[in-house]
Amino acid sequence: MDTIQRNMSLTGEPPKTINRTQKIATFIGMFGLAILLLATFNVNFPNKGLWLSIALLSITSGIILFAKGAYSNELEGIKNHGVWFKSISSRGFLAWISGISLTGFYVILYFYPVYLGLNSEGENTGIIALFDPLSRILSGNPASQWFVYGTLYTIAIFAFGIKFIWKYRHNRYEKIRTMSVMFFQTAFAFLIPEFMARLNDSEAYNLPYYDLKSIWPLNYYLFDSYSLDGLLSSGNLGLYMLLFGVVSIFIITPILTYKYGKRWYCSWVCGCGGLAETAGDPFRHLSDKSQFAWKVERWVIHSVLVFAVLMTTAMVSTYLGSDPNAYWLTRDVFLIGVAIFLTLIFVLIWIFKKQELKKDARYGAIGYFVIIIGLFLIHSFSGSNNIFIFEASTLRLWYGFLIGAVFSGVIGTGFYPIFGSRVWCRFGCPMAAILGLQQRLFSRFRITTNGGQCISCGNCSTYCEMGIDVRAYAQKGENIVRASCVGCGICSAVCPRGVLKLENGPMQGRIDGNEILLGNDVDLMTLVNKN
């Protein structure tokens, strides 16, 4: 007989088309976008400050009004009605159009900013010129393509954040988490760096653009020579900032992750996560949940991490001198230090946590470890000026292009409507990889399953933006301890039987299943003895 896998949406139709409020909202939002589009095509608006304000306000209020139209007449509670029937959220025509436009925008933004009006000589034109007044208010400088992007990014998180809060208003965890993400984006990622740039007016400062909440290796340019030069030439403030950057990596991050899991960062603070959680929320169910995708994910994300470690080591070591009399931290001391540090981590995990690693994780760990140490050895014996096999700047260039631009930007965000909202976080982010290792091996965080109450309905898995098959654990009564979980809490929110809860608890027994509650009340000991 035929396989019946009929997509119900073929016969159904969206629960409702958009209502009047939403139509008005769409008009207002599109009006704002149209102004930006006209500016991009070099329409010269007379009063730029005014027109920019009109555009940004229209976009923001359009989004918020749209959310009001969608949720204000509904009672509180999860309402994912018709998600799979709507073109935009089920990889339909609208989804492809948005995906292609977003991707196109990213390509232009990263590789052809001149089309946005960034002129190397002379004044900005186009859309970048439109943003000049705002940029001058904040930092005193004319806008760049990154300022335009940052402003739109912040507006997206802010306005879609309000939409998210409206949708999940019955859920305090989601509300508080979203406010946190909105705050960190607006203050730390957007305003503070702009204000910091003002300091550079003074001779004493030469600070690079620094989003303080962006931690290495996500912030891979922290150790670029221009960044180090800038920080080191900016007196104590610069030094403190560099120190803070290093302390964040080695001390703050592990402690917080131990206590709360990686969610404190990935879904409470991080900007990439922030965009995924707010603007990306309508696409969270599109992530691939197959076991195959999981296998790919583990290899890709950890490869990016290894790449990031090598690239950074190479960058820093080229920055350092080789004369031991000039400064104690020479190239060789640094390289040996890194090698010892990595070996130490590897050995400690191997001794204390080996039984928690699956077979392929063990192979992967050994493989990468051998490669890294091998490269160190090649370097020290070959005596070449190149660090490892490639020049540091070549590595940095490729990392910036492949990972920083193509992966995190073009694919990560541009493909929201096709692959779901957390493609970058799931497959590419080296920061997520590090935090994930910490979370998997040394964290008090887990998602607990409520005894035997799971009905295997699949809402949790479907709405997991990280593509975790939550149901597979829940129906076994097992706690969920996964490196990739960002702790967004949506699985718990969409569960119709209240089976899942995000918790911080003791390390002991954090994975244990609750098999006795799943089913028959057997005397397990007797059974075991009989077997």
Partner 1 sequence: MEHIVIIGNGISGVTAARHIRKLSDKRITIISAETDHFFSRTALMYIYMGHMKYEHTKPYEDWFWSKNRIDLKRAFVKQVDHKQKSLILDNGEELGYDKLILAVGSKSNKFGWPGQDLDGVQGLYSFQDLQNLEKNAPNKKKCKRAVIVGGGLIGIELAEMLHTRDIPVTFLVRETSFWNGVLPSGESEMINRHIRNHHIDLRLGVNLKEILADDAGKARAVVIPETNEEIACDLVGLTAGVSPNVDFLKDSGIELGRGIKVNRFLETNIEGIYAIGDCAEQHEPIGNRRNVEAVWYTGRMMGETVAQTICGHRTAYNPGHWFNSAKFFDIEYQTYGWVNSDKRKPEYEEHFHWIHEDDTKCITIATHKDSGKFLGINTFGIRMRHEVFDKWLTEGVSTDHVIRNLRYANFDPEFYKTFEPQILSAYNKLTVNI
Residue numbers at the binding site for partner 1 (CB under 8 A): 1, 3-9, 11-16, 75-78, 80-86, 170-173, 176, 285, 290-291, 450-453, 455-459, 461-462, 471-472, 475, 489, 492-494, 496-498, 501-503, 514, 516-522, 527, 530-531
Q: How far is CA 241 from the centre of its chain?
A: 23
Beta carbons of 467 and 288 less than 8 angstroms apart: yes
To the nearest 10°, the Cα dihedral for 223, 224, 228, 234?
-120
Spatial distance between the Cα atoms of 298 and 428, rounded to a whole number of angstroms: 10
3-class SS of residue 458: coil
* CB closer to partner 1, 3 vs 325: 3
String of DSSP letters for 258-312: HHH-THHHHTTT-HHHHHHHHTTGGGGGGS--SHHHHHHHHHHHHHHHHHHHHHH
Count the neighbouring beta carbons within 10 Å of the beta carbon of residue 260.
Answer: 18
Chain mean position to CA 286: 16
Residue 281 to residues 168, 465, 471, Cα–Cα distance (Å): 11, 9, 20
In this structure, what token pair is assigned to residue 55?
Answer: 């555009």
| Amino acid (1-letter code) at residue 402 | L
Q: How many residues are there in the chain?
A: 531
Quote the tokens at residue 364. 């992967």
Rounded distance between C-alpha atoms, residue 514 and residue 494, angstroms: 22
Q: Under 8 Å CB-to-CB from 512, ≥6 apart: which residues?
A: 478, 479
Q: Using H for helix, E for strand and C for coil, what is the string for 365-414?
A: HHHHHHHHHHHHHHHHHHCCCCCCCCCHHHHHHHHHHHHHHHHHHHHCCC
Tell the residue number behind the tokens 């301890």, with chain if given.
Answer: 481
Residue 512 phi/psi, 5° resolution?
-50, 140
113, 417 contact by CB (below 8 A): no
- In angstroms, what is the minimal distance from the CB of 477 to partner 1? 9
Instruction: Specify which residues 448 forms β-bridges with.
Output: 501
CB atoms under 10 Å from CB of 83, counted, come to 20
**CB of 355 or CB of 520, closer to partner 1:** 520
Q: Which is nearer to partner 1, 31 or 294 (CB)?
A: 294
Nearest to 246 by CA among 150, 154, 337: 337
First-to-final CA distance of the chain = 41
Dihedral, CA atoms, 16, 18, 19, 21, nearest 10 degrees?
150
CA–chain centroid gap for 248, Å, is: 17
CA distances from 215 to 4, 46, 407, 500 (A): 48, 41, 18, 30
Q: Give the relative orientation of helices 430-442 and 253-260 as an angle to the nearest 10 degrees.
A: 50
Rounded to whole angstroms, the maximal C-alpha distance in the chain is 87
Give me the least distance between CB of 462 and partner 1, in Å please: 5
3-state class (DSSP) for residue 513: strand
- Cβ–Cβ under 8 Å, residues 303 and 184: no
